[in-house]
Amino acid sequence: MKILKYTLGLLLSIFIASCSSDDHDTMEDLTGQTGSLILKFDNGIGNQDFIFGTTYTNFKGETYQLETLKYLISNVRLTDNQGNTYTYPEEENIFIVSEANGNAAGEIYITLNNIDAANYTHVTFGIGVDQERYASGADGQGDFLTTAQDEGMMWSWATGYRFMRLDGTYSSPTKTNAALNIHMGSVGTSVDNYKETTLAFPNEVLVREAKEPSVHIKADIAQVFDGLTSVSFDAGYAQVHTDEITTGVIATNMSGIFSVHHVHND
Amino acid sequence: MKKLVFIILVALYVMSCSKSSYTNDYVPVYLNVEQPDNFPEIVYNLDANPVTQAGFELGKKLFYDGKLSANDAIPCAFCHEQAFAFTHHEHTVSHGVNGGIGTRNAQPMQNLAYQSEFMWDGAATHLDFQPIIPLTSEVEMGETLGNVLNKLNADTYYRKQFPKAFEDGEINSENLLKALSQFMVMMVSSNSKYDKYVRNEDGGELTEIELNGLNNFKNKCATCHATDLFTDHSYRNNGLSINPKLNDKGRYNIFENPKDLYKFKVPSLRNVALSLPYMHDGRFSSLEAVLNFYDSGMTDNGNVDELFKREDGTLGITLSTYEKESIIAFLYTLTDNEFLTDERFSEF
């Protein structure tokens, strides 16, 4: 009888132990755990990879080649499967994506370190610099102003950031190898061209201490000119700098060029 | 041998001491930015960049240091001389590195903490960022932030002073620009004879012609030269003929908006007796010339401010000889000698 009692007790304790262990597996405790995540930006033109010096054609039949392709990404936030939002620390939360810095596959990496471990479902980021960051002046910018200037992403004749730089040439029925410079940005507080985009992941991105997941983001540069609005270089869009209307059209088009192609969880 | 060990030990001790004190150099002594009774509120965000003694001194050193320019010879103060209300004395437009000639007259520097936009066309919308424009301009200082920081990093003074001025001690663009702003926001000119008059202080007795001038000024000039900063911060086209050599389109250059053609900032008139020559291109060398222009020299360049249109359709502000004389007498009461000789802002 005593043996039975002991046996029962033993079985019960094994059962409880196995139970709690099962619980642990389904409700993984991620408290305090951090990991990294790589956002891989991959510029393309429609269904082609983007390559400097290659001639592309826009919707209006004008052809163009680019020698500079850069844009500013900021305010990266991640949303997890519980609906919580993780925001990358503000001081480091601004990046320059420059095609010239791409690897052999034409991908430019933004590595986010020490982010909260979670199962993420969406990423949100801004293109350019928001009014709040701009209004803080030099405060909290560290050396980003120097980086931006070195990359040619600041105005020189006025204070402010270029949100993007597409420099090259275009040809049309009326022009041959004319200058093409798209330098859209905000102008002080008067013209605000900062826009955000939110992209859903096809499957959850698992950020964990021992893993380095990545998100492959495609940027279709063709949509800068053929996005929500199709623009013609000949009709005022070969030189876009500060004009309220043309910069607004480009900013809106620009916010729609991104999509998540796939994610890697390893 | 014992002696040698002792010396080495003492040396090690001293070195460790100086090293630890190096990391604890940030002991902020806060300075107050003046808020004169007759001024509008400060708009510069001092919470984000509180002025400290060490930060102010660093900013002053930078302001007077040629290292901020490509040839190490053109400091900010080159075009902003204290005795002339921080303008480039007797220069219509300024010159900079490698013989470069600018297109505009250097503006006075004073009361910057009370303004949110800078330069003749408002190209700078934050005081912290303003220095980037002259620093990088090919005809002014012709430098880059990165190069300037490299030079500062190689300089013993700056390696010591940045950690005194900023908690993180970094020699980076954030702290460089913050130090310059700390120096600039302290530059308050508020003790002219006129200020003492409006605040009922000793030394504020205006003569009859100065009082008449003030009255005429209020009637004829104060719509644009408003408040005790003497500017409404707006950009206006005041009917100057176009100088074909410069063809400076003013604020149009910022937004490419035809409505902004030939518009320039309404300048403050503080210390105006000393900030000659006048207008964005320094074309007038005396206040008499300026008032004669407003009375009878304006031209219709296609976009002149409505305020200048007389009932008969001509352009200008009608001023009698005495009105001009008295307004000039009044403008002289805006000279603030305490500010112009304040040693806190002087190079030596």
- Phi, psi for A141 (deg, rounded to 5): -95, -10
Rounded Cα–Cα distance for residues B173 and B175 (Å): 6
Tell me what pLDDT residue B20 has.
42
Please tell me whether the interface predicted TM-score (ipTM) of this complex is above 0.90: no
Do the strands A178-182 and A164-171 form a parallel or antiparallel pair, or are they unpaired?
A: antiparallel
Number of Cβ within a 10 Å radius of residue A192: 17
Residues A242, B256 contacting (CB under 8 angstroms): yes
- Check CB contact of B33 with chain A, cutoff 8 Å: no
User: Nearest residue of B to residue A239 by CA position?
Assistant: B256
Give the C-alpha distances (Å, rounded to integers) separating A170 from A264, B242, B332.
37, 34, 57
Q: Which two tokens stand for residue B80?
A: 């902003």
Interchain proximity A158–B146, CB inside 8 Å: no
Do the strands A34-45 and A214-220 form a parallel or antiparallel pair, or are they unpaired?
A: parallel
Structural domains of chain B ordered from first start: 30-188 (1.10.760.10), 193-338 (1.10.760.10)
Q: Annotated binding site of B for heme c, which residues?
A: 76, 79-80, 221, 224-225
Tell me what pLDDT residue A227 has.
96
Element (H, E) at B255: helix B252-255
Nearest to B72 by CA among B97, B104, B45, B94: B97
- Check CB contact of B216 with chain A, cutoff 8 Å: no
Which of A142, A150, A159 is closest, CB to CB, to B130?
Answer: A159
Tell me what pLDDT residue B99 has.
86
- Check CB contact of A156 with chain B, cutoff 8 Å: yes
- Check CB contact of A142 with chain B, cutoff 8 Å: yes
Low-confidence ranges of chain B (pLDDT < 50): 9-10, 12-22
Which of B48, B137, B253 is closest, CB to CB, to A136?
Answer: B48
- Phi, psi for A242 (deg, rounded to 5): -130, -5
State CA A95 to chain mean position distance: 9
Tell me what pLDDT residue A26 has.
55
Tell me what pLDDT residue B146 has.
97
Rounded Cα–Cα distance for residues B220 and B305 (Å): 15
Nearest to A59 by CA among A72, A43, A45, A71: A45
Which of A138, A150, A242 is closest, CB to CB, to B174?
Answer: A138
Rounded Cα–Cα distance for residues B337 and B85 (Å): 10
Interchain proximity B170–A143, CB inside 8 Å: yes
Interchain proximity B174–A244, CB inside 8 Å: no
Whether the CA torsion B162, B167, B171, B174 is positive or negative: it is negative
Q: B156-212: per-residue pLDDT in tens? A: 999 999 999 999 999 999 999 999 999 999 999 999 999 999 999 999 999 999 999
Rounded Cα–Cα distance for residues B146 and B70 (Å): 12
- Check CB contact of A187 with chain B, cutoff 8 Å: yes
How crowded is the C-beta side of B208, counted as CA atoms within 13 Å?
A: 1
- Check CB contact of A192 with chain B, cutoff 8 Å: no
**Which chain B residues have a beta carbon less than 8 Å from that of A138?**
49, 128-129, 173-178, 181
DSSP symbols for chain A: -HHHHHHHHHHHHHHHHHHHHHHHHHS---TT-EEEEEEEEEEEETTEE--TT--EE-TTS-EEEEEEEEEEEEEEEEEETTS-EEE--GGG-EEEEEGGG--TTSEEEEEEEEEEPEEEEEEEEEES--HHHHHTTTTT-TTHHHHHHHTT-B-SSSSSB-SEEEEEEEE-SS-SSEEEEE----BTTTB---EEEEEEEEEEEEE-TT---EEEEEEETHHHHBSSSB--IIIIISEESS-HHHHHHHHHHHTTSEEEEEEE--
∠ CA B119-B122-B124, rounded to 5°: 75
Give the C-alpha distances (Å, rounded to integers) separating A195 from A164, A185, A192, A252.
12, 11, 9, 7
Rounded Cα–Cα distance for residues B37 and B199 (Å): 8
Closest chain B C-alpha to A238 CA, distance in angstroms: 14
Give the C-alpha distances (Å, rounded to integers) separating A217 from A15, A114, A225.
47, 21, 19
Number of Cβ within a 10 Å radius of residue B109: 22
Closest chain B C-alpha to A154 CA, distance in angstroms: 10
Low-confidence ranges of chain A (pLDDT < 70): 1-27
- Check CB contact of B289 with chain A, cutoff 8 Å: no
Tell me what pLDDT residue A13 has.
54
Q: A208-251: per-residue pLDDT in tens? A: 999 999 999 999 999 999 999 999 999 999 999 989 999 999 99
Residues B228, B195 contacting (CB under 8 angstroms): yes
* Interface mutation target, options A91, A94, A131, A139, chain B, most CBs of B under 10 Å: A139
∠ CA A101-A250-B235, rounded to 5°: 110
Q: Which residues contact B72 (CB under 8 A, 6 or more apart)?
A: B66, B151
Tell me what pLDDT residue A188 has.
83
